[in-house]
Structure 1
């Protein structure tokens, strides 16, 4: 019988201890360690080399997605199965893109977790039925349009200067165009990004790497 060596990562001590107790009752699962945050999980996984890290998403210092990403670089043979209370599209997709091989909610019981661990160990994938529809939703959504594909080069210039805190008059002087032209560019780019005002334009610039210094 192959024993699955598991490392637990959750910032709540009661959850870690509860999981260790439940998994410890299974004959083919061995809990080799427990971490209270993502950074500790990575260090322990690199040192202990478990088969699988059972990873929470919301943790201090380093969350589960970033920890999964670091593990893929530092210990690619260690698989990650997310075990979390979050089953929304964004959390799930971020985890899977970071390299997680499974995604379970904390409503899963011991046998469900064990079965998921075994599937992942066998190079499969394990998705809780409660989150499978999120995968389908994500696959049917069109990919987001990149900022440099959505906006003209001049609109990108104007957006960068807005994010830098310049007024329309200052932008006009910087780009050697009229203030009326600047206003036109601002109105066009706001319409394209679905923004109502300059604050939302600044937020868009930061999200898309168009802010000063990025």
Structure 2
């Protein structure tokens, strides 16, 4: 049985051309194409067809690749996300990986290299070409130093545990026996410390770093 793929890219001509290329691969098939992350979520809800792999562009309107990768990591962790973008800078690569992408390719990749990448992603669970691996490894020490420098209090740890639930901030405040304003201060402090912007980002961090157990 072929592994199923969904393409998320706001450039429809590119997405359709990519669909035609992938449908000629022996082991893969595209089941649908989406214009952005919000469109992807809607299609998940409408038809219930959840793919094995999502090929994800980064620069998209409404809901971009960074936010979409984080959402997929939180709600569908079994889906393998591969970024497919024109952006190959350090910040984009590292941010996509932080948000859960298991692979990264540039759009000028040769079709045969794309097939190889998809095969490796499916079998090994990840695929990074040499140029992306160099970016990742060069940032490892910086990431470790940054993580060691971040001090997270016991109360912030408790708050992180609740970010992965469906509780509102008021309900989290009740659980923590404090005011909603205090909970919001935990959120703001953690976002500043971790360079995050949303609850989804905090939830992904909590899961990856063992705070959600």
Range into which the TM-score falls when normalised by the shorter chain: 0.5 to 0.7
Partner residue, 2:10: 11
* Cα deviation, residue 123, structure 1: 3.8
Moved more, 36-45 or 60-69: 36-45
The match for 2:108 is 107
Larger Rg: 1
Gaps of 5+ in 2: 153-188, 194-213
Q: Secondary structure at the match of 1:80?
A: strand
Show the counterpart of 2:49.
48
- Find out whether 1:131 has 2:132 as its counterpart: yes
Contact 1:5/1:52 (CA < 8 Å) preserved in 2?
yes
Give the Cα separation in 2 of the matches to 1:65 and 1:36.
Answer: 14
Aligned length: 151
Instruction: Decide whether the 8 Å contact of 2:84 with 2:105 is kept in 1.
Output: yes
Other structure's SS at 1:131 match: helix
Deviation digits for residues 33-76 of structure 1 (CA, Å, limit 9, x no counterpart): 00011111233346211110000011111111111111122222
Return the offset for 1:147: 10
Distance 2:113 2:7 in 1: 16
**Change in 2 beyond 3 A, CA 1:72/1:84:** same
**SS in structure 2 of the partner of residue 83 of structure 1:** strand
Report the CA distance shift for 1:39/1:17 in structure 2 as closer, same or farther (over 3 A): same
Residue 201 of structure 2 corresponds to none
Q: Which moved more, 1:115-124 or 1:5-14?
A: 115-124
Please tell me the root mean square deviation across aligned C-alpha atoms, in Å: 2.3
